[in-house]
Amino acid sequence: MLQLANPTRFMQYSARLLPWLAAASALVLALGLYMAFFVAPPDYQQGETVRIMFIHVPSAWLAMMCYGIIAVSSFGLLVWRHPLADVSAKAAAPIGAAFTLLALVTGSLWGKPMWGAYWVWDARLTSVLILFFLYLGLMALRRASDDDVLASRLTAILAIVGTVILPIIKFSVDWWNTLHQPASVMRLGGPTLHPSMLWPLLVMALGFTLLFLTLHLAAMRNEVLRRRVAVLREARVARAGASRAAEPQPAE
């Protein structure tokens, strides 16, 4: 791992990039929150609760994008055996799970005043919940084995399986929902969104994406450092063992 030039170069570049990314995401998020809370008008039907959407929608987008990144990274690990791909997949999973949870929680907080219940078995909610379970499965499988290399490859296989099966799950949940629950759920029409709400949403989405990139890069750097520490520790143990073996043993 240390012999490869790429992680070292990654550490150099990311160290330079990270402060800028963090500052940019803080700025854009601050601007987005200001627009969401003070500029965007309350919805004529939903009132002030519509502001939850400015957190909720970007979280849901990122929840999906994050799974995409895990899938691409897993593919990179399995095909090219690139260690950074594994670092990326490992770092992205908890962040993606956090965004998915954020989307679920904000969604149910929005649902209570709008639908009268914290949880409604709406097709989208259900698919996002299953996405959350997949994230949990990925994280649990990675922690299950002591052998890090084995665990990372197994997790990559599960991520690829999830990529194949996620669209099927989405399709089946849509089918199930239209069957069990005729369209009673009010939704915001995407393209009919008024510009006064669209702009804050887009700014928030950009802010969330920047935030994700910052967190992902930071987590990847941590992971690389963690692995380096582990390698150094193993080397020290090996050296100590070798020097002890070289010493003349006391006669028994």
Partner 1 sequence: MTAFLALVGRDLRLALRQGSTLGTTLGFYLIVVAILPLGLGPDLNLLARIAPGVLWVALLLSALLSMERIFQIDLEDGTLEVLALGPLPLELIAMAKGIAHWLTTGIPLALTAPLLGLLLNLDLAAYGPLAATTLAGTPAVSFIGTIGAALTLGINRGGLLLSLIVLPLYVPVLIFAVSAVTNAVTGPAPFLPPFLILLALTLASVVLAPVAAAAALRLHLQ
Which residues would be at the binding site for partner 1 (CB under 8 A)?
Answer: 78, 130, 133-134, 136-137, 140-141, 144-145, 150, 153-154, 157-158, 160-162, 164-165, 168-169, 171-173, 175-176, 179
Least distance in angstroms from the C-beta of 248 to partner 1? 39
Least distance in angstroms from the C-beta of 136 to partner 1? 7
Least distance in angstroms from the C-beta of 178 to partner 1? 10
Strand partners, 43: 47
Task: Assess contact for 18 and 221: CB atoms under 8 A.
Answer: yes
Task: Assess contact for 53 and 201: CB atoms under 8 A.
Answer: yes
Task: Assess contact for 210 and 21: CB atoms under 8 A.
Answer: yes
Nearer to partner 1 by Cβ, of 103 and 210: the residue is 103
Select from 172, 180, 175 the least CA-distant residue to 120. 180
As a whole number of angstroms, the distance between CA 40 and CA 48 comes to 10
Burial letters 108-118, b for 16+ CB under 10 A, else e: bebbeebeeee
Nearer to partner 1 by Cβ, of 105 and 160: the residue is 160
Strand partners, 47: 43
Least distance in angstroms from the C-beta of 123 to partner 1? 11
Nearer to partner 1 by Cβ, of 26 and 137: the residue is 137
As a whole number of angstroms, the distance between CA 140 and CA 154 comes to 11
DSSP state letter for 38: I
Nearer to partner 1 by Cβ, of 34 and 175: the residue is 175
Nearer to partner 1 by Cβ, of 108 and 172: the residue is 172
Nearer to partner 1 by Cβ, of 83 and 162: the residue is 162
Least distance in angstroms from the C-beta of 213 to partner 1? 28
Residue indicated by tokens 């601050």:
30
- The phi and psi torsions of 148 (rounded to 5 degrees) equal -65, -40
Least distance in angstroms from the C-beta of 156 to partner 1? 9
